[in-house]
């Protein structure tokens, strides 16, 4: 059953009770990487293995995301500042126990490529927060695999 989350802003990324931060350097420059994140939302299904459906809503101001296993998100884009930041808030989800959630993608030049940093900032019930902390290794692997796949895709 879907439920509405607390509407938080970008400041939540630093203040959230649970913050999971993942980073990796890839060869694609930020100028090539940013459009794949922010402008080609349907393309997420081709490089982020956990994503089964991704579509823009409200002329790009929002997104609908579905993950393997059935988790769904209705999101609002908070920051779309190319080529360095793409941040969105989850407004509605069927994930039990979630109360607030923001995901931030930061892109910074690194040599001839990009340092990609993904922060997942959440609040929720104690069991939800605990489960998310336990999921850290799986999320780290999903992030690593996704940005590696995206890097290969952009090299074509």
Q: How far is CA 75 from CA 60, 91, 114, in A?
A: 10, 5, 25
Label residues 56-72 b or e (16+ Cβ within 10 Å = b). beeeeebbebbbeeeeb
Dihedrals phi, psi of 50, to nearest 5 degrees: -75, -15
Residue 156 clears pLDDT 90, i.e. is over it: no
Q: How far is CA 11 from CA 16, 87, 125, in A?
A: 9, 11, 20
- The C-alpha angle 150, 137, 80, rounded to 5 degrees, equals 40
Query: Taking the model in full, what pTM does it have?
Result: 0.96
Going by pLDDT thresholds of 50, 70 and 90, the confidence category of residue 7 is: very high
Averaged pLDDT score across all residues of the chain: 97
Going by pLDDT thresholds of 50, 70 and 90, the confidence category of residue 151 is: very high
């Amino acid at each position: 059953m879907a439920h509405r989350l607390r509407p938080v802003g970008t400041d939540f990324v630093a203040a959230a009770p649970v913050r999971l931060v993942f980073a990796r350097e890839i060869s694609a420059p930020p100028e090539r990487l940013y459009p794949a994140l922010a402008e080609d939302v349907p393309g997420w299904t081709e490089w982020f293995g956990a994503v089964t459906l991704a579509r823009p809503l409200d002329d790009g101001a929002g997104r609908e995301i579905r993950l393997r296993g059935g988790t769904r998100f209705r999101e609002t884009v908070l920051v779309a500042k190319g080529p360095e930041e793409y941040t969105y808030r989850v407004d509605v989800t069927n994930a039990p126990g979630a109360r607030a959630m923001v995901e931030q993608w930061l892109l910074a030049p690194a040599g001839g490529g990009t340092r990609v940093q993904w922060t997942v900032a959440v609040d929720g019930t104690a069991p939800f927060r605990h489960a998310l902390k336990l999921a850290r290794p799986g999320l780290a692997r999903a992030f690593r695999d996704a940005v590696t796949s995206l890097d290969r895709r952009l090299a074509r």
